[in-house]
Amino acid sequence: MRDITHFIDGATVAGTSGRFGEVFNPNTGEVQARVALASAAEVDAAVASAARAQAAWGAVNPQRRARVMFEFKRLVEARMDELAELLSSEHGKVLADSRGDIQRGLEVIEFACGIPHALKGEFTDGAGPGIDVYSMRQPLGVAAGITPFNFPGMIPMWMFGVAIACGNTFVLKPSEKDPSLPVRLAELMMEAGAPAGVLNVVHGDKTAVDALLDHPGVAAISFVGSSDIAQYVYSRGAAAGKRVQAMGGAKNHGLILPDADLDQAVKDIMGAAYGSAGERCMALPVVVPVGERTAEAVREKVLAELETLTVGISTDPAAQYGPVVTAAHKRRVEDYIQLGVDEGAELVADGRGFSLQGFENGFFIGPTLFDHVKPQMRTYQEEIFGPVLQIVRAETFEEAVALPSAHQYGNGVSIFTRDGRAAREFANKVNVGMVGINVPIPVPLAYHTFGGWKRSAFGDANQHGMDGVRFYTKVKTVTARWPEGAVEDSAFVIPTMR
């Protein structure tokens, strides 16, 4: 059986803890590899490697660091098919979706290629008599990232791309469910010209996470995962004196107004709800049609689209989505489907029991649809993270806007309408961090920032864009005087610029 190793100080390193996790092929249900689960000592070795490399890497001028990012981007693009196949083999998402995963990560690498401009400070000439004031952004030191299974390419690149370009070194703890791609990315970063120790990868579970959160050599932690763990990471990391950004779960809503282009809206929602088997924090699992006529039309059109939806293995070019990541996750999603039935929602389409000929042991769930879901139901309040779409009917625009605004999660939300005034009012009033107007998955471009509100995010800084630069740097402000003439007397009051 294949062993997946750590990547420390520029080389693959076998695990020494004696503990391993299983990595499945979600299409077949078979165990295809085992991954080493790091001990605290192995995490310490990765942090030590990053610390040794940081001073020299931080002293490299920004344009030379940017050239490494350019070369890394070129190498990843040249190997896109190979990397997408590796990703799909462990995650289960279809190849086109895996390419999109990697491409969205590369868009942040492209932003990082412009890091010399992003790191420019401020300068005031003649702030006082012979006095200039200027600021500079400097790296924090060693940063760490803890990333989820659902985007094993994109989210690591969101984190380490900006951090490394800013002059930090990085320790990545990816999901142990699909760990091979992050190791391959670290190898390509070294091939692109980054010195050994600039990017390290350690695999593991809570032992590795806690070791990073407590380690005195780690200055900043970035996390993406479930909200309960995000809150834990934020609290423990902040208590240890670290900078922390922790992105949590989501329950994104799509409001459909009566004037919307229903055909287009439903097609958009199908991809947003069922793409990647719903395993996205920016999936759109709740549709809120306004008015009974709209609700009935949406239901009819969704059912018609379900008839054309193809579920298949990750290498099937005709498949819209593939299996979920593990058997345990499949059971979790199916338990939520049963809970929805028990709570009294109408199960219109049941994806349980879906079987694919020749791949009967794969972790497949067919597209599932609930109607007449109520806000008090647990299946509405909690994140299911599977191919399950829920219809929550609203009588008025105000009632529809109140649903995502009151929900515990506030990651993303979308509205489908031809009414510019209604869309503008919605964007201004809704209590959610990222808004789409006739856009089903409102993930901002790399030079903007990604982040939700409420229990979808803990910490003050968002992912990537200028928020990412601010998160991975500290500002130093210098006040300089070059006096001429006679020596001045000492001042015993606070200086002013008079």
The domain that holds 176 is classified in CATH as 3.40.605.10
Instruction: Check whether residue 336 and residue 257 sit in a common domain.
Output: yes
329 in a domain, yes or no? yes
Instruction: Check whether residue 468 and residue 403 sit in a common domain.
Output: no
Instruction: Check whether residue 369 and residue 261 sit in a common domain.
Output: yes
Number of domain units in the chain? 2
Instruction: Check whether residue 302 and residue 187 sit in a common domain.
Output: no
Give pLDDT, residue 128: 85
Instruction: Check whether residue 430 and residue 461 sit in a common domain.
Output: no
Instruction: Check whether residue 344 and residue 460 sit in a common domain.
Output: no
Instruction: Check whether residue 75 and residue 216 sit in a common domain.
Output: yes
126 in a domain, yes or no? yes
Give pLDDT, residue 74: 98
Selection from 170, 64, 161 nearest residue 110 by Cα: 161
**Whether 281 is catalytic:** yes
Task: Check the CA dihedral 75-78-80-86 and report its sign.
Answer: negative
The CATH number for 419's domain is 3.40.309.10
Q: Which residues does 113 contact at the CB level (< 8 Å), separation at least 6?
A: 66, 69, 70, 73, 165
Instruction: Check whether residue 383 and residue 359 sit in a common domain.
Output: yes
Instruction: Check whether residue 272 and residue 149 sit in a common domain.
Output: no
CB 290 within 8 A of CB 394: yes
307 in a domain, yes or no? yes
CB 80 within 8 A of CB 106: no
How many Å apart are CA 458 and CA 430, to the nearest integer?
19
Structure tokens that stand for 334 in this block:
């199916």
Selection from 5, 10, 109 nearest residue 52 by Cα: 10
Give pLDDT, residue 438: 98
Instruction: Check whether residue 135 and residue 174 sit in a common domain.
Output: yes
Instruction: Check whether residue 325 and residue 392 sit in a common domain.
Output: yes
Q: Average pLDDT per run of 10 along the chain, which is 498 residues long?
A: 96 96 98 98 98 98 98 98 98 98 98 97 90 96 98 98 98 98 98 98 98 98 97 98 97 98 98 98 97 98 97 97 98 98 98 95 98 98 98 98 98 98 97 98 94 96 95 97 75 72
Beta strand 457-458 pairing with 473-481: unpaired
Instruction: Check whether residue 15 and residue 164 sit in a common domain.
Output: yes
The catalytically annotated residue of 43, 281, 337, 422 is 281
The DSSP bridge partners found for residue 391 are 287
How many Å apart are CA 264 and CA 261, to the nearest integer?
6
446 in a domain, yes or no? no
Task: Check the CA dihedral 62-65-71-75 and report its sign.
Answer: negative
Domain end, chosen from 437, 469, 490, is at 437
342 in a domain, yes or no? yes
Q: How far apart are the first and last CA of the chain?
A: 74
At 348, give phi and psi (nearest 5°): -85, -40
Selection from 178, 282, 156 nearest residue 222 by Cα: 156
442 in a domain, yes or no? no
Give pLDDT, residue 489: 73
Q: Which residues does 461 contact at the CB level (< 8 Å), separation at least 6?
A: 243, 245, 451, 467, 468, 470, 471
Q: Which domain holds residue 376?
A: 253-437
Structure tokens that stand for 129 in this block:
């008599």
How many Å apart are CA 145 and CA 233, to the nearest integer?
11
